[in-house]
Copies of this chain bind each other. A is one copy, B any other.
Amino acid sequence: MSKSARARTQRNRDGQEPKIHLGELDNHLGYFVRRLQHWIFRDVNAALAPLALDVILYSILETIAANQGAAQIAIAGRLGIERARMVALLDELQQAGLIVRERSEQDRRAHALGLTPRGRMILKKANVAVAAHEKRVARRLGADNYRRARAALAQFETD
């Protein structure tokens, strides 16, 4: 190993950690997206924890609310959740008394999903918590950056 390389394993003179550079990663949107996503994920989950929800359960509740009577596979497909995994997530929401699964009259293979009164009440509280989280994201990112990022990313459509 070169002398300069060896030097980087040491602490600096002032006792600080040596600064780690990112190389090409600094030019890749994917790195920044992953870093932001990680922070957002933890912050929003902390915000939802008092309601016994996480961001996935919340997203399912909100999507059911916006599409009363939709089938499991439709909600799962829109949110990018495997239908096999959806089963356990809906079991959880149902056991918590937040949703109902009724057999669809049009297609008796399908379950028509809906919120219970309690589900609507919890969702309302969740939306308050998530709005507060969203403000933290905006403050953290800076108001202008937040607006620009949201505008830019909102136009991305998955296959």
Across the interface, do B32 and A153 meet the contact criterion of CB distance under 8 Å?
yes
Interface contact A24-B155, CB-CB below 8 Å: no
What number of copies of this chain does the assembly contain?
2
Chain B residue with the shortest CB-CB distance to A76: B20
Please tell me if the beta carbons of B156 and A140 are within 8 angstroms of each other in the complex: yes
Q: Which B residues touch A155, using CB under 8 A?
A: 141-142, 145
A96 within 8 Å of B by Cβ?
A: no
Q: Does A97 contact B (CB under 8 A)?
A: no
A150 within 8 A of B: yes
Do residues B141 and A152 form an inter-chain contact, with CB atoms below 8 A? yes
| Closest B residue to A66 using CB positions | B23
Tell me, yes or no, whether A137 is within 8 Å of chain B by CB. yes
Q: Which residues of B contact A149 (CB under 8 A)?
A: 29, 148-149, 152-153
A69 close to B9 (CB less than 8 A): yes
**A-B contact sample (5 more), CB < 8 A, given A33-B33, A145-B152:** A5-B69, A6-B112, A21-B66, A33-B36, A145-B153
The 6 closest A-B pairs by CB, nearest first: A23-B66, A5-B69, A32-B153, A145-B152, A20-B78, A5-B68
